[in-house]
Amino acid sequence: MRRTVDARATLSYTGSIVKYLSASMSVPLVVALIYREDVVAFAVSIAIAVAVGAGLERLDDEPDLGPRDALAVVSLAWFMAAVVGAIPYVVAGYGTESALAHPVNALFESMSGFTTTGATATAEISFEQHSHALLLWRQLTQWLGGMGIIVLMVAILPQLAVNGAQLMKSEAPGPGLQKLTPRIAETARALWLIYVGFTAALIAILFVLGLTPLAPEMNLYNAVAHGLSTLPTGGFSPQAESIAAFSPVVQWVFVPFMVIAGVNFALFWYLLRGEPRRMLENTEFRTYLGLVTAFAGVLAVGLFAGGAPATLIGGITEGAAENALRQGVFQVASLLNSTGYATADFAQWDRQTRFFLLFVMFVGGSAGSTGGGIKVIRWLIVAKALYRELYTTANPDVVKPVRLGGEVVDEDVIRGILVFTLLYFLIFALAAVFIELDTARMGEALTGTEAFAASLATIGNIGPGLGPLGPFGSYEFLPNTTKVVMIGLMWIGRLEIVPVLALFVAGIDDR
């Protein structure tokens, strides 16, 4: 039996994925044509990306994937996607003042895009410095990464369908893959169609609103750009002021779509098939909605009572009911499931409200959603498993399976979830310490809380942190070593740690 990864087959599969993924760069190319901007940058980027992809693909004529290789393909494909996605930033920024021209910043921006983190490595977000085309590419990477590039490839490439279930399982957020149809390619297509549907709906609503006096700042470009980064729980915005750049009506429109992005998309499939009960009776769905409502309520009350003293962005919330409610609901809907949009500079809020947001960031979206983080279902199972341990310690003879919504949770799944959660916290804490020490070394000291928030914001694919890394700040000033670590954090955070670590472990022959 082969004990290590089949490198040729793995690279060949990765190459195919990269090759087809680079076709998506033709979208910003068209945008560049429309806005009469630098077309060459994208033409060159596509050429390089296709060449890399095709070159890798050539390594094996008839690649045959085993389970170990599937993990490796997913991990590598995501890394290579980020690498290839970084090319336009470097090429377009070449010879300009743009911070993104630096390869580390470009890779950071690209990884942050594909993993739907939304942390940015450039302090300057404006059309003066970046073209419309480049900023749209930034949005598009989030949209592609949201539902998952592997899911997309399984949906459209027949040669991937054979190993599709294995590949998708490694990519899918949450502890398992829900197969909706007998054929995995159809499941992948169904998920993408729902995703496209919600995206189109949001773009249409935003565009129509922009035609009315209610939202003068909303034009077609903004509607598309924000449509592309809401459903993937992305958080990038071509506006320097994120969603604060838009009127309260627009801000309210974003809220339901952000909440939807954190819901298991398989549930919408059941809803469309006329089985609404499977959605309404889903324990994770109910818990998720309950958490959003409860946290939003608490935060709104906190803001109303004066939890946001600085009024630079977001306005006065103390005693202002609508604004307090809107800021509370928006920030929770955005941060709980790892979107990362902001309508207020919460980095300037007072200690209680900031810490509350940090707490909210730990939750994450649902399994099968586009959200990052630990995920609601894992928290539920961890809580139940811990209760079970305490109970059986007191009653050693009792056999007590863990149940979720009446269904028994398999012991292997529980073990996997406990391991995941432990790894998540371990890596999060180690990285936070590293960030703290590394930034101190460079004289760019972050406070302890800010370092922890930065670690959480990247491994949880959230985006904005606290302090200078807040929603209207940027990660540009951080030392490159820290950025490289954060690129790794975003990568393993999106793939939920295990596939990436398994890639390294599988390479070790432990005979």
| Contact between 408 and other proteins per CB under 8 A | yes
Tokens standing for 266?
């398989």
- Which of 397, 412, 509, 510 is in the footprint of other proteins by CB under 8 A? 397
| Contact between 403 and other proteins per CB under 8 A | yes
| Contact between 398 and other proteins per CB under 8 A | yes
In the complex, minimum distance from the CB of residue 289 to other proteins, in angstroms, rounded to a whole number:
24
Rounded CA separation 62/84 (Å): 24
In the complex, minimum distance from the CB of residue 417 to other proteins, in angstroms, rounded to a whole number:
18
CB nearer other proteins, residue 26 or residue 395: 395
Torsion sign, CA atoms 466, 309, 334, 473: negative
Stretch that binds other proteins, among 6-14, 153-161, 297-305, 395-403 (CB under 8 A): 395-403
Rounded CA separation 180/254 (Å): 28
Q: Are 30 and 96 in contact (CB under 8 A)?
A: no
In the complex, minimum distance from the CB of residue 388 to other proteins, in angstroms, rounded to a whole number:
11
Stretch that binds other proteins, among 8-16, 302-310, 402-410, 441-449 (CB under 8 A): 402-410
Q: Are 489 and 458 in contact (CB under 8 A)?
A: yes
In the complex, minimum distance from the CB of residue 411 to other proteins, in angstroms, rounded to a whole number:
9
CB nearer other proteins, residue 55 or residue 401: 401
The answer for residues whose C-beta is within 8 angstroms of residue 400's C-beta and 6 or more apart is: 388, 391, 392
Annotate each residue in 98-137 with x if it binds other proteins (CB under 8 A) or - if it does not, as one string.
----------------------------------------
Rounded CA separation 433/452 (Å): 8
Q: Are 279 and 315 in contact (CB under 8 A)?
A: no
In the complex, minimum distance from the CB of residue 408 to other proteins, in angstroms, rounded to a whole number:
4
> What DSSP string runs through 458-508?
HHTT----SGGGSTTS-STTS-HHHHHHHHHHHHHHHTTSHHHHHHHHHTS
CB nearer other proteins, residue 272 or residue 404: 404
CB nearer other proteins, residue 64 or residue 407: 407
CB nearer other proteins, residue 1 or residue 408: 408
In the complex, minimum distance from the CB of residue 412 to other proteins, in angstroms, rounded to a whole number:
13
CB nearer other proteins, residue 3 or residue 400: 400
279-298: which residues touch other proteins (CB under 8 A)? none
Rounded CA separation 348/471 (Å): 10
- Which of 400, 445, 505, 507 is in the footprint of other proteins by CB under 8 A? 400
- Which of 1, 390, 399, 508 is in the footprint of other proteins by CB under 8 A? 399
Tokens standing for 243?
């969603």
Give residue for tokens 């109303």.
304
CB nearer other proteins, residue 399 or residue 508: 399
CB nearer other proteins, residue 183 or residue 400: 400
CB nearer other proteins, residue 264 or residue 282: 282
In the complex, minimum distance from the CB of residue 385 to other proteins, in angstroms, rounded to a whole number:
15
Q: CA gyration radius for the chain? A: 22
Q: Which helix (H) or strand (E) holds 408?
A: strand 407-408
- Largest interatomic CA distance in the chain: 74
CB nearer other proteins, residue 162 or residue 404: 404
| Contact between 406 and other proteins per CB under 8 A | yes
Find, among 235, 205, 198, the residue nearest to 220 by Cα. 205
Q: Are 439 and 344 in contact (CB under 8 A)?
A: no
Stretch that binds other proteins, among 25-33, 98-106, 209-217, 393-401 (CB under 8 A): 393-401
201-240: which residues touch other proteins (CB under 8 A)? none
Classify each residue of 439-460 as buried b or exposed e, where b means 16 or more C-beta atoms within 10 Å of its C-beta.
beeeeeebeebbbbbbbbbbbb
C-alpha angle 80-85-89 in degrees, rounded to nearest 5: 140
# residues near other proteins by CB under 8 A: 9
437-496: which residues touch other proteins (CB under 8 A)? none
CB nearer other proteins, residue 217 or residue 407: 407
Rounded CA separation 223/290 (Å): 29
Stretch that binds other proteins, among 96-104, 248-256, 349-357, 400-408 (CB under 8 A): 400-408
Tokens standing for 338?
């790892």
Three-state secondary structure call for residue 425 = helix
In the complex, minimum distance from the CB of residue 397 to other proteins, in angstroms, rounded to a whole number:
4
Stretch that binds other proteins, among 286-294, 320-328, 391-399, 446-454 (CB under 8 A): 391-399
Rounded CA separation 389/245 (Å): 49
CB nearer other proteins, residue 408 or residue 508: 408
Q: Are 252 and 326 in contact (CB under 8 A)?
A: yes
| Contact between 401 and other proteins per CB under 8 A | yes
Report the first-to-last Cα separation within the chain, whole angstroms. 12
Residues that bind other proteins (CB under 8 A): 395, 397-401, 403, 406, 408
